[in-house]
Amino acid sequence: MSQYRWLLFDADGTLFDYDQAEAAALANTFREFDFQYRPEYAPVYREINGQIWRDFERGLIDQISLRTGRFVMLFKALELDADPERFSRKYLENLSMGTYLIDGAEEVLRILRSDFGLAIITNGLKDVQRPRFARSTIGEYFDVLVISEEVGAAKPDPAIFDVAFELIGQPPRKDVLMIGDSLTSDIAGGLGYGIDSCWFNPSHLEPVPDLDVQYEISDLRQLLNILYPNPLK
């Protein structure tokens, strides 16, 4: 059996297919506001949203600014006249409906649940993540759900890991593994907190030289080969 007893999972991009949920939510919200939606809007939004979240991770903006700021920037880029606050509320409601899973997620969690404590540690927004997990087929597998907006800290800040460790009973750090797709939040956060980390890298991105990642996988099923002495077939 693995040395680990607790597994901390990121949510979006690791278990949930965030890109699919984002595209569907954006298209649906545009239609509900009687705007014509064009496929080329998606990459514009994705670039803006990515920058906004990076600013949030670095502590440059708060989550209130994140919620509406990305749509202020989007409407400016697209030359559209809309209320960013109203649009944001509807978008988040639609996003919370997006329970699309990364390939292998449910299969792997079903196996792991018997042998490990499972927790979510996410920088997502509470009115997206809690409804999404409630609707999802994987919500039942998790003992703990830590959401940055609720605890006032976001990965890679050690404070969010402090909350998670309190909720899972303060296990030795050597007994905990962080699994996530973001080098800057999940992996940097886990390593900075002194816990081993597994980088989920389905796009085969280049690693960052100064991050000494213990494990790297491109398919969630490969996690089983790490956690069990004899790979499961």
CA distances from 66 to 10, 11, 99 (A): 19, 18, 22
On whether the CB atoms of residues 161 and 193 are closer than 8 A, the answer is yes
Strands 6-9 and 215-217: unpaired
Burial 85-101 (b: 16+ CB within 10 A, else e): eebbeebbbbbbebbbb
Residue 10 bears catalytic tag: yes
Nearest CA among 114, 232, 133, 123 for reference residue 180 = 123
Burial of 129 (0-12, 13-18, 19+ CB in 10 A): buried
Which residue among 10, 12, 17, 196 is the active-site one? 10
Q: What residues act catalytically?
A: 10
